[in-house]
Amino acid sequence: MPESPPGMRKIRFHEFIEFTDDLVTQVDNKGRFLYVNQSAEKIFGLTPADCLGLAAFDFIHPDDRERTIQSFNGWLSAKQQSVSIENRQVNKDGTIFHMHWRSVIHYDRQGEISYINGIARDITELRDAEKELQRLKGGLERLVEERTKTLDAIVSRLEQEIVEHQNTSKLLRQRDRDLRFHAESLEESNAAMRALLKRRDLDKAEFIEDVRANLRNMVFPYLLKLQKTNLTENQKCYVQRLESSLPAITGNCSGLLSVFSRFTPTELQVANLIRQGQTSKEIASLLEVSTRTVETHRNNIRKKIGIQNKKESLRSALLSSL
């Protein structure tokens, strides 16, 4: 296809620019119109010739003007070339148009603005459609809210009827509960009596164990020490009578005494601390002796209670025998 002459191409480009539905503008470095196409009559209400020399910012909606100026200054500071923005343009008859701008900023060799070419598309119908959609959405939400309130009222009535039905059922069941009341009361009394008897047995067992613990910790060690001292005949008689009376207090006192009688006073201390769960290191610290000395006492205690060559825990053996 033969290439069109330059003059023809210019004519075609001019026709395209003039008769497009988009607003095409060119402004100088002061923001004054150097060129506008025929769409200026629709958007501004002025002929293209009347627009020349006018300030483009004067046609911007007052509520959008400051924002647009700030954006414009920001583009210039950043030396941006291709920019876009959306604002409202006001026709001289007061009609407002929502416009979406695409502009190209041209700078001279010194970096100063030379002129700006802009193309703006009228998106008023789109914004009006969005508003209408929001209005319809709001109406739909109100309708849903009203229907929800209606349904809530119906549910509330149904719930009230259910409660009334439940109350009637409760009255009918009350008679059956009254018939079972005496039997249940008697069973509860029996259960309470069994619980009291069980608690009494537990308290009795705890009391006996407390007595045994007190004998182990506060009586037997001193009784053994008395036996190893130089006692008079009367004193020996008192100790023997005391020793023979202990079984009447708790059944295994004589066995406890026989076990205690094998230990030295220090071994008695070590054995008691082992029963309390103390480690060799802790016992050594309490008695102010070395850990090795404590281990020697532990070995002697194992020998005296007959578990020297057994894997049984020394503490468990002491708890069961003392």
In this prediction, residue 50 carries a pLDDT of: 96
Short-list 222, 37, 26, 216, CA closest to 118:
26
pLDDT along the chain (322 residues), means of 10: 56 73 94 96 96 96 96 94 96 97 95 95 94 91 88 87 84 79 74 75 64 68 75 75 61 56 84 91 92 94 87 86 62
- DSSP 8-state symbol, 232: -
CB-based contact 61:87 (threshold 8 Å): yes
What are the strands of the beta sheet with 96-107, ordered from one edge?
33-36, 23-28, 113-122, 96-107, 82-90
102 CB-side CA count, 13 A: 4
Domains of the chain listed by start with CATH number: 6-122 (3.30.450.20), 212-321 (no CATH)
3-class state of residue 173 by DSSP? helix
Identify the three-state secondary structure at position 106: strand
What confidence score (pLDDT) does residue 259 get? Answer: 63
CA–CA gap between residue 256 and residue 220 (Å, rounded): 8
Q: Rounded to two decimals, what is the model's pTM?
A: 0.43
